[in-house]
Homo-oligomer: A and B are copies of this chain.
Amino acid sequence: MLSPTSETTSWPTHEVSPLDKATLAKLDAWWRAANYLSVGQIYLLDNPLLRQPLTRDHIKPRLLGHWGTTPGLNFIYAHLNRVIQERSLNTIYITGPGHGGPGMVANAYLDGTYSEVYSNIEQNENGVRKLFRQFSFPGGIPSHASPELPGSIHEGGELGYALSHAYGAAFDNPNLLVAAVVGDGEAETGPLATSWHSNKFVNPLEDGVVLPILHLNGYKIANPTLLARIPESELLDLMRGYGHTPYIVSGGFDGEDPALVHARMAETLDQVLNQIAQIKADAAAGTLEGRPAWPMIILRTPKGWTCPKEIDGKPAEDSWRSHQVPLADARDTPAHTKVLNDWLLSYRPEELFTEEGAPVELATALAPEGDLRMSANPHANGGILRKPLKLRDFRDYAVDVPSPGATITEATRQLGVWLTDVIRDNPTNFRIFGPDETASNRLAPPVYDATDKQWNAEYIPSDEHLARAGRVMEMLSEHQCQGWLEGYLLTGRHGLFTSYEAFIHIVDSMFNQHAKWLKVTREIPWRKPISSLNYLLSSHVWRQDHNGTSHQDPGFIDHVVNKKADVVRVYLPFDTNTLLSTYDHCLRSVDYVNVVVAGKQPTANWLTMDQAVEHCTRGLGLLEWAGTETAGQEPDVVLAAAGDVPTLEVLAAASLLRQYVPSLKVRVVNVVDLMRLQSEGEHPHGLSDREYDAIFTADKPVIFAYHGYPWLIHRLTYRRHGHDKMHVRGYKEEGTTTTPFDMVMLNDLDRFHLVIDVLDRVPGLAAREAGLRQDMQDARLDARAYTRSHGEDHPDVAGWTWGSAAAGATPTARFDDTGNDN
- The residues of A with any CB-CB pair to B shorter than 8 Å are 45, 60-62, 64, 136-144, 146, 155, 157-160, 185-186, 188-195, 197, 200, 220-226, 229-231, 234-243, 315, 319, 436-440, 444, 453, 455, 457-460, 462-463, 466, 474-480, 502-503, 505-506, 508-509, 512-513, 516, 519-520, 523, 546-551, 553, 555, 558-559, 562-564, 709, 711, 714-715, 718, 723, 733, 735-739, 742, 784, 787-788, 790-792, 822
Contact yes or no, B223 A197, CB < 8 A? no
Instruction: Kindly list 13 other residue pairs between chains A and B, CB separation below 8 angstroms, not including A157-B549, A711-B715.
Output: A136-B738, A146-B550, A158-B502, A158-B550, A189-B476, A189-B478, A190-B193, A192-B194, A224-B463, A229-B457, A505-B508, A516-B733, A519-B549
Measured CA separation A136–B792 after assembly (Å): 11
Measured CA separation A444–B320 after assembly (Å): 15
State the Cβ distance, A309 to closest chain B Cβ, in Å.
Answer: 12
Known contacts A185-B476, A223-B474, A241-B238: does B559 contact A791 (CB below 8 Å)?
no
Instruction: Name the residue on B nearest A475 (C-beta).
Output: B188
Measured CA separation A220–B563 after assembly (Å): 34
Instruction: Name the residue on B nearest A64 (C-beta).
Output: B546
Q: Which residues of B contact A142 (CB under 8 A)?
A: 547-550, 736, 738
Instruction: Indicate which residue in B141, B190, B502, B559 contacts A189 across the interface (CB closer than 8 Å).
Output: B190
State the Cβ distance, A740 to closest chain B Cβ, in Å.
Answer: 10
Known contacts A138-B737, A242-B238, A513-B550: does B158 contact A503 (CB below 8 Å)?
yes
Contact yes or no, B139 A45, CB < 8 A? no
Contact yes or no, A230 B558, CB < 8 A? no
Contact yes or no, A550 B144, CB < 8 A? yes
Contact yes or no, B240 A551, CB < 8 A? no
Contact yes or no, A62 B738, CB < 8 A? yes
Contact yes or no, B157 A457, CB < 8 A? no
Q: Which residues of B contact A523 (CB under 8 A)?
A: 735
Q: Which residues of B contact A190 (CB under 8 A)?
A: 160, 189-195, 477, 479-480
Contact yes or no, A194 B188, CB < 8 A? yes
* The 5 residue pairs across chains A and B that have the minimum distance between CB atoms: A157-B550, A238-B241, A190-B190, A142-B548, A193-B194
Contact yes or no, A738 B791, CB < 8 A? no
State the Cβ distance, A458 to closest chain B Cβ, in Å.
Answer: 4
Q: Which residues of B contact A460 (CB under 8 A)?
A: 224
Instruction: Name the residue on B nearest A553 (C-beta).
Output: B512
State the Cβ distance, A84 to closest chain B Cβ, in Å.
Answer: 29
Contact yes or no, B143 A547, CB < 8 A? yes
Measured CA separation A558–B715 after assembly (Å): 12
Instruction: Name the residue on B nearest A548 (C-beta).
Output: B142
Known contacts A193-B194, A239-B241, A733-B519: does B512 contact A509 (CB below 8 Å)?
no
Instruction: Indicate which residue in B238, B509, B549 contacts A503 across the interface (CB closer than 8 Å).
Output: B509
Measured CA separation A459–B739 after assembly (Å): 56
* 7 examples of A-B residue contacts, CB within 8 angstroms: A220-B436, A223-B474, A234-B241, A238-B240, A240-B241, A558-B562, A714-B718
Contact yes or no, B146 A548, CB < 8 A? yes
Measured CA separation A439–B788 after assembly (Å): 55
Q: Which residues of B contact A520 (CB under 8 A)?
A: 549, 735-736
Q: Which residues of B contact A61 (CB under 8 A)?
A: 790-792
Measured CA separation A508–B242 after assembly (Å): 28
Instruction: Indicate which residue in B315, B437, B506, B784 contacts A158 across the interface (CB closer than 8 Å).
Output: B506
Instruction: Name the residue on B nearest A148 (C-beta).
Output: B736
Contact yes or no, A742 B138, CB < 8 A? yes
Contact yes or no, A476 B738, CB < 8 A? no
Instruction: Name the residue on B nearest A142 (C-beta).
Output: B548
State the Cβ distance, A182 to closest chain B Cβ, in Å.
Answer: 12
Instruction: Name the residue on B nearest A567 (C-beta).
Output: B733
User: Which of A142, A243, A474 counts the most B-chain CB atoms under 10 A from its CB?
Assistant: A142
Instruction: Indicate which residue in B222, B237, B476, B546 contacts A240 across the interface (CB closer than 8 Å).
Output: B237
State the Cβ distance, A701 to closest chain B Cβ, in Å.
Answer: 16
Q: Which residues of B contact A453 (CB under 8 A)?
A: 223
Q: Which residues of B contact A564 (CB under 8 A)?
A: 733
State the Cβ distance, A141 to closest chain B Cβ, in Å.
Answer: 8
Q: Which residues of B contact A508 (CB under 8 A)?
A: 505-506, 508-509, 559
Measured CA separation A158–B239 after assembly (Å): 28
State the Cβ distance, A112 to closest chain B Cβ, in Å.
Answer: 25
Measured CA separation A139–B784 after assembly (Å): 9
State the Cβ distance, A452 to closest chain B Cβ, in Å.
Answer: 11
Contact yes or no, B224 A457, CB < 8 A? yes
Contact yes or no, B140 A738, CB < 8 A? yes
State the Cβ distance, A269 to closest chain B Cβ, in Å.
Answer: 24
Contact yes or no, A738 B558, CB < 8 A? no
Known contacts A220-B476, A512-B505: does B64 contact A787 (CB below 8 Å)?
no
Contact yes or no, B792 A62, CB < 8 A? yes
State the Cβ distance, A332 to closest chain B Cβ, in Å.
Answer: 13
Q: Which residues of B contact A474 (CB under 8 A)?
A: 222-223
Contact yes or no, B229 A458, CB < 8 A? yes
Measured CA separation A551–B156 after assembly (Å): 10
Contact yes or no, B440 A546, CB < 8 A? no
